[in-house]
Amino acid sequence: MAHIIWSNDLSVGIEIIDSQHKRIVDYLNELDDARLKHSRDVVGGVIEDLIDYTQSHFGFEETLMEEAGYPYVNAHKKIHELFIRRINEYHDRFKLGDDVTEELHRTLTNWLVNHIKREDNDYSSVVQVHTARGKVDLEPETSGWLGGALKRFFGKRK
Ligand SMILES: [Fe+2]
């Protein structure tokens, strides 16, 4: 499967979320590279990083939705939970020796693209309205919650 090229139709219009989605796309491309090189160790490492980063991203996204008072946050959280469960299942199969990489790559790619275009775009308009009204502050210099949320979810990484 080819690399995913980021394009503007994947943008949700929120810079910080777009940059996290781009990082997930990078991981998926890394997974594809590792698969082609047939290095099982590298594939395993990328799957672990991907799960870890995606969990951090979901946590951050959920906090942002809550901050904005997005009404469907619980439904969105359920979708995230199901997704994490699904990647973990792939990871378990991988650890048992199954060659899941191609299927995992395809599933994650399709899921991510659809999720960004549908569910993420749906909360994005609400967050943008609240940002414009000054209720959600996404400026790192002035925002109280943003730095805390980034540290909480991505702290060990940056
Ligand atoms: Fe999401």
Segment 29-42, tens digit of pLDDT: 999 999 888 788 88
Question: Residue 25 maps to which CATH number?
Answer: 1.20.120.50
Q: Label residue 34 exposed, middle or buried (CB < 10 Å: 0-12, 13-18, 19+).
A: buried
Separation of 134 CA from ligand 1 center, angstroms?
A: 23
Q: d(Cα 11, Cα 20) in Å, to the nearest integer?
A: 11
- Cα–ligand 1 centroid distance for 102 (angstroms): 23
Ligand 1 mean position, distance from CA 119 (Å):
6
Decide if 2 is inside a domain. no
Number of domains, the chain:
1
Taking the centre of ligand 1 as the mean of its atom positions, its distance from the CA of residue 39, in whole angstroms, is: 30
Residue range of the domain that includes 93: 12-154
Residue 2: pLDDT above 70?
A: yes
Residue 4 lies in a domain: no
> Alpha-carbon distance 75 to 115, whole Å?
13
Judge whether 110 lies within some domain. yes
Report residue 158's pLDDT band, with 50, 70 and 90 as the boundaries: very low
Question: How does the average pLDDT of the chain come out, rounded?
Answer: 90
Q: Tell me whether residue 3 is in a domain.
A: no
CB count within 10 Å of CB 67 equals 20
- Distance from Cα 129 to the centre of ligand 1, integer Å: 18
Burial of 45 per CB tally in 10 Å (0-12, 13-18, 19+): middle
Tell whether the model's pLDDT for residue 14 goes beyond 60: yes
Give me the pLDDT at residue 82, please.
95
Answer with the residue of higher pLDDT: 146 or 1.
Answer: 146
Whole-number Å distance, alpha carbon 139 to ligand 1 midpoint, is 21
The CA-based dihedral angle spanning residues 67, 72, 77, 80, taken in that order and rounded to the nearest 10 degrees: -110
1 domain-assigned: no
Instruction: Compute the distance from residue 125 Cα to the ligand 1 centre, in Å.
Output: 13
Question: So what's the pLDDT on residue 156?
Answer: 60
Region label for 95, one of left (φ > 0), alpha (ψ between -120 and 50) or beta (otherwise)? alpha
pLDDT of 157 above 60: no
140: in domain: yes
Q: Is 126 part of any domain?
A: yes
